[in-house]
Amino acid sequence: MKYDYLIVGAGLFGAVFAAEMRKKGKTCLVIDRREHIAGNIYTQDVAGIQVHKYGAHIFHTSDKRVWDYIQQYAEFNHYINSPVAIYGDELYNMPFNMNTFNKLWGVKTPAQAKAKIAEQIAELQIGEPKNLEEQALSLVGPDVYARLIKGYTEKQWGRDCKDLPAFIIKRLPLRFVYDNNYFTDPYQGIPKGGYTRIVEKLLEGIPVRLGISYRDFLKANEAKGEEADSFAKVLYTGMIDEYFEYCFGELQYRSLRFEEELIAGCDNYQGNAVVNYTERQVPYTRIIEHKHFEFGTQPDTVITREYPVEWKRGDEPYYPVNDERNNALYAKYAQLAAGEQHILFGGRLGQYRYYDMDKVIAAALDMAAAETKTA
Ligand code: UDP
């Protein structure tokens, strides 16, 4: 069969792109090397609880276009992310706000909190922050940094905070009100029924082949000779360096190991969906209790401990490590990609970008719109 697009990767980027192109009358075939659709937003029902199999995904956006778009595919609940962080015997509210400062220093007013932070920062004499450590210190001072940032960040990224880019920490808000809402976006929630349903709906009417890698698919297709399927274009949402057979060397990624546990007879393990463990000695960064994303009342619970690990070939890549060295290497791959007429690269891995879900959707919509113009 002749298709307009072969889409490699049935994750959010690939699925949104496929759905949009289908609306424009284009034909797509989607393949994925995993045995299921939905990539890393895959959720699965375990004991009546939607479990985020590849780490917690909380939908949040400031982009009305994206919010309106995703509403067509799911109804969202009113979940608001308010993680807590455990350091030693103490528990702190996240993100950094008046509750956190009150617990740390006993301060009660914003003026007292600001004065405390200013006093701590003044001693440091940091100019323009050059790395994550300097950025964090100049924002919140050494107390917060030592308890809530340094350990978590160094185990999450496997690198010293001095060797990490400052932008990572800018994801974390700092505010002087008693507000534990992690995100500042006006739209937030968890899709009722799970994320996999969204991707199922996006891919409705589009053929999908699972459990096959791009290379194996190409080989098998070629072997069909005259019967082979043909594609005008390919959208590749896997790792861009892998696509080019690592010709300039490997990009770095962080991977994760998930330890999932069904605890029968326990209806509430930790009282919150997300509990961060910010001490360096605790090997995991957080424990997720999935039922709290959906206000679940089941008699049992499912928790997942998240252990960050360095990525090596064969592992699942979760986070691009967007430091200077990797970004420069990515730029070389991107240049190579720009020279390929019939191949598009999209998503966290195809574009080597620390994208959130809303940014993935926006980028996929933009790419689909650009394709329609040129097609
Ligand atoms: N972070 C931290 N302490 C925390 C939570 C996050 O220092 O308790 C830092 C850490 O560097 C992390 C970054 O903030 O990589 C972004 O965290 P976020 O929760 O947004 O990351 P994600 O959910 O994408 O893993």
Candidates 175, 197, 305, 353; catalytic one: 175
Residue 215 among the catalytic residues: no
Contact 69, 59 (CB under 8 A): no
Residues 232-270: tens digit of each pLDDT = 999 999 999 999 999 999 999 999 999 999 999 999 999
The predicted structure's pLDDT at residue 228: 97
CA 335 to ligand 1 center in whole angstroms = 30
Q: How far apart are CA 245 and CA 252, in angstroms?
A: 14
- Lowest mean pLDDT segment, chosen from 61-65, 137-141, 269-273: 137-141
Q: How far apart are CA 114 and CA 107, in angstroms?
A: 10
CA 153 to ligand 1 center in whole angstroms = 7
CA 169 to ligand 1 center in whole angstroms = 7
Residue 159 lies in a domain: yes
Residue 326 lies in a domain: yes
Ligand 1, atom 11, lies closest to the CA of 153
Q: What percent of the chain has pLDDT over 90?
A: 95
Query: What phi and psi values does residue 371 have, to the nearest 5 degrees?
Result: -65, -40
Residue 242 among the catalytic residues: no
Residue 121 lies in a domain: yes
Contact 255, 26 (CB under 8 A): no
Q: Which atom of ligand 1 is nearest to the CA of 278?
A: 8
Coil, strand, or helix at residue 235? strand
Contacts of 161 (CB under 8 A, 6+ apart): 131, 132, 133, 136, 149, 150, 153, 154
Q: How far apart are CA 318 and CA 325, in angstroms?
A: 18
Query: Ligand 1 pocket: which of 149, 253, 272 to mutate (most atoms <8 Å of CB)?
Result: 149
Residues 67-107: tens digit of each pLDDT = 999 999 999 999 999 999 999 999 999 999 999 999 999 99
Assess whether 233 and 90 both reside in one domain: no
Token pair recorded at residue 238? 């896997």
Q: Which atom of ligand 1 is nearest to the CA of 148?
A: 3
Q: How far apart are CA 356 and CA 353, in angstroms?
A: 9
- Lowest mean pLDDT segment, chosen from 40-49, 87-96, 124-133: 124-133
CA distances 218 to 168, 223, 225, 231, 240, Å, are 37, 9, 11, 11, 17
Q: Which atom of ligand 1 is nearest to the CA of 286?
A: 8
CA 148 to ligand 1 center in whole angstroms = 10
Which CATH number belongs to the domain containing residue 37 in this structure?
3.40.50.720
Assess whether 102 and 220 both reside in one domain: no
Assess whether 241 and 366 both reside in one domain: yes
Residue 301 lies in a domain: no
CA 168 to ligand 1 center in whole angstroms = 8
Assess whether 203 and 334 both reside in one domain: yes
pLDDT band at 123 (very low <50, low <70, confident <90, very high): confident
Which residues form the domain of 102? Answer: 84-168
Q: Which atom of ligand 1 is nearest to the CA of 136?
A: 7
Residue 226 among the catalytic residues: no
Assess whether 240 and 340 both reside in one domain: yes
Count up the domains in the chain and report the number. Answer: 2
Mean predicted lDDT score pLDDT of the chain: 97
CA 365 to ligand 1 center in whole angstroms = 27
**pLDDT above 70 for 375:** no
Q: How many CA atoms lie within 13 A of 370 on its CB side?
A: 7
Assess whether 75 and 92 both reside in one domain: no
Residue 306 among the catalytic residues: yes
Assess whether 103 and 74 both reside in one domain: no
Residue 265 lies in a domain: no
Q: Which residues line ligand 1 (CB under 6 A)?
A: 85, 94, 148-149, 152-153, 156, 168-169, 171-172, 276, 278
Residues 143-175: tens digit of each pLDDT = 999 999 999 999 999 999 999 999 898 878 899
Residue 343 lies in a domain: yes
pTM: 0.96
> E strand or H helix at 197, and its extent?
helix 195-202
Assess whether 331 and 369 both reside in one domain: yes
Last residue of a domain, one of 103, 137, 168: 168
Candidates 182, 286, 333, 348; catalytic one: 286
Assess whether 67 and 206 both reside in one domain: yes
Residue 282 lies in a domain: no
CA 339 to ligand 1 center in whole angstroms = 35
Coil, strand, or helix at residue 188? strand
Assess whether 65 and 161 both reside in one domain: no
Indicate left, alpha or beta for 137 from its phi (over 0: left) and psi (-120 to 50: alpha): alpha
The predicted structure's pLDDT at residue 107: 98
Q: Is 269 exposed, middle or buried (0-12, 13-18, 19+ CB in 10 A)?
A: middle
Token pair recorded at residue 157? 């990224």
Triad 281, 285, 287: Cα angle to 5°:
120
Assess whether 205 and 154 both reside in one domain: no
Residue 171 among the catalytic residues: yes
Residue 356 among the catalytic residues: yes
Assess whether 88 and 150 both reside in one domain: yes
Residue 178 lies in a domain: no
Q: Which atom of ligand 1 is nearest to the CA of 94?
A: 8
Q: Which residues of 229-261 are buried (b: 16+ CB within 10 A; e: fewer)?
A: eebebbbbbbbbbbbeeeebeebbbbbbebeee
**pLDDT above 80 for 39:** yes
* Cis-peptide, bond into residue 283, ω within 30° of zero: no
Contact 217, 209 (CB under 8 A): yes
Q: How far apart are CA 89 and CA 37, in angstroms?
A: 41
Token pair recorded at residue 254? 């962080």
